[in-house]
Amino acid sequence: MGRTIAEKIFDAHRVDMPFSDTHVLKLDRVFCHEITTPIAITDLMARGMDRVFDPTKIKAVIDHVTPAKDSKTAEQGKILRDWAKRHGIKDFFDIGRNGVCHALFPEKGFVRPGYTVIMGDSHTCTHGAFGAFAAGVGTTDLEVGILKGVCAFHAPKTIKFVLNGALKPGVYAKDLILFIIKELTVNGATNKVIEFSGPVVDEMSMESRMTLCNMAIEAGGTCGVCYPDMTTVEYLWEFIKDEFNSKEEALKEYSKWMSDDDATYEKVYEYDVSELEPMVTFGFKPDQVKPVREMAGTKIDQIYIGSCTNGRIEDLRIAASILKDKKISDDVRGIVSPATPAVYSMALKEGIIEIFQDSGFCVTNPTCGACLGMSNGVLAEGESCAATTNRNFNGRMGKGGTVHLMSPATAAASAIEGKITNSPLYKG
């Protein structure tokens, strides 16, 4: 019987099945950040179990609030930093080298097709873009992962999306995933894997695939997955070139992490997305999605371009192409946070940082900060923000504040207008 990618990854990593439908998997990666891992570290220490299963498979970053904004966040960073040092975790990214985890770790080549990855963070699903099984977990699972390098899961049921046609100019992966979440609703994929396939995904860059998989959790999905292909190999090539004689050989190896044609799915959705419009959220749930034109004219106070969803170089390039030689409205504040130092450097070299600054945007260091309303752009009561992030929960970017999720193109155009508007790149 045919198997899905997730089933193949489970079969290759299963070390135990203590109960029916409880699959204990060997982990290839345990990712850590300073908000959730310090709780696990402190608990392990209290239990006299301050050990790690393999320091080379653990990667850690301070990204959510950096530079620290107060004594509490300074302490969280310190616990993670000291722990990484104590256990010889070499891939630890501190201020100056740090970036948003789900942008930084892929960029460092830490995720490969067929890998199992956990992290104490809900957007760990992003890494499925590489054909990996990557899931956000709670503190107990994280502790077991750190200690033993394993994690227990239920068998993955998969929902498959076959995306046909081609996206119009000015329509992006972000618009597509907002549309998909609207179709699925916020719990339509709970405890399930979402496979993204079809010509539209085949054409996408790794950045766009990460945007798609990043928001799988917003429909409840455990993990989003794309099939590894030559785009995946090209992205990873500098990290894998010593393992293979050629890119074709790498592709052949990675192609085993592909769903079989006769695999069993919970549900298959097939869409032609050629007529899809730019999308935006309203309300406080990520499935409250409308075409941008229906929300046009909605006043905003702040624009935020960044996060693990849309803070990558591709996103900044698109936004800058719209902002070039333009000024943002006097009535809005613009904030852009390049997701990683590499994104920042590229943006600097390409003149993108200058375009942002000249247009009136504030450019921050790489950090999650504003995305979860902790620092670098917290909203005041009653304010609203046009954001390229992934969550529009009530008060997400600040108590009493509203968030409208959208693509970087829509966000840049809305910054110029001072209200929600379609980007000039979308001709309808």
Ligand X SMILES: CC(C)[C@H](C(=O)O)[C@@H](O)C(=O)O
* Annotated binding residues: 308, 368, 371
Q: Which of 59, 64, 112, 333 binds ligand X (CB under 6 A)?
A: 64
Of the candidates 218, 16, 217, the one whose C-alpha atom is nearest the C-alpha of residue 135 is 217
Q: Which residue has the tokens 């199992």?
A: 116
Is residue 123 a contact residue for ligand X (CB under 6 A)? yes
Residue 113 phi, psi dihedral angles, 5° rounding: -55, 140
Is residue 307 a contact residue for ligand SF4 (CB under 6 A)? yes
Q: What is the full DSSP assignment across 320-358?
A: HHHHTT----TT-EEEE--SSHHHHHHHHHTTHHHHHHH
Is residue 127 a contact residue for ligand SF4 (CB under 6 A)? no
Which of ligand SF4, ligand X, none binds 100 (CB below 5-8 Å, type-dependent)?
ligand SF4
Site map 84..123 versus ligand SF4, x via CB under 6 A: ----------------xxx------------------x-x
Q: Output the smallest distance, CB 194 to ligand SF4, in A.
A: 17
Whether 340 and 96 have beta carbons less than 8 Å apart is answered as: no
Whether 284 and 404 have beta carbons less than 8 Å apart is answered as: no
Which of ligand SF4, ligand X, none binds 36 (CB below 5-8 Å, type-dependent)?
ligand X
CA atoms of 144 and 92, how far apart (whole Å): 20
Which of ligand SF4, ligand X, none binds 35 (CB below 5-8 Å, type-dependent)?
ligand X
Q: Output the smallest distance, CB 422 to ligand X, in A.
A: 27
Is residue 372 a contact residue for ligand X (CB under 6 A)? yes
The piece of 118-126, 157-165, 178-186, 313-321 that touches ligand X (CB under 6 A) is 118-126
Is the backbone peptide bond immediately before 67 cis, with ω within 30 degrees of 0?
A: yes
Question: How many angstroms separate the first and last alpha carbons of the chain?
Answer: 44
Indicate the burial class of 186 (C-beta count within 10 angstroms; 0-12, 13-18, 19 or more): middle
Q: Output the smallest distance, CB 61 to ligand X, in A.
A: 12
Q: Output the smallest distance, CB 124 to ligand X, in A.
A: 8
- Binding site, annotated residues for [4Fe-4S] cluster: 308, 368, 371
Our measurement of the distance from residue 162's CA atom to the centroid of its chain's CA atoms, rounded to an integer in Å, reads: 21
CA atoms of 224 and 107, how far apart (whole Å): 18
Is residue 308 a contact residue for ligand SF4 (CB under 6 A)? yes
Applying CB under 6 A, which residues contact ligand X?
35-36, 64, 121-123, 136, 372
Interface residues toward ligand SF4, by CB under 6 A: 64, 100-102, 121, 123, 307-308, 368, 371-372, 389-390
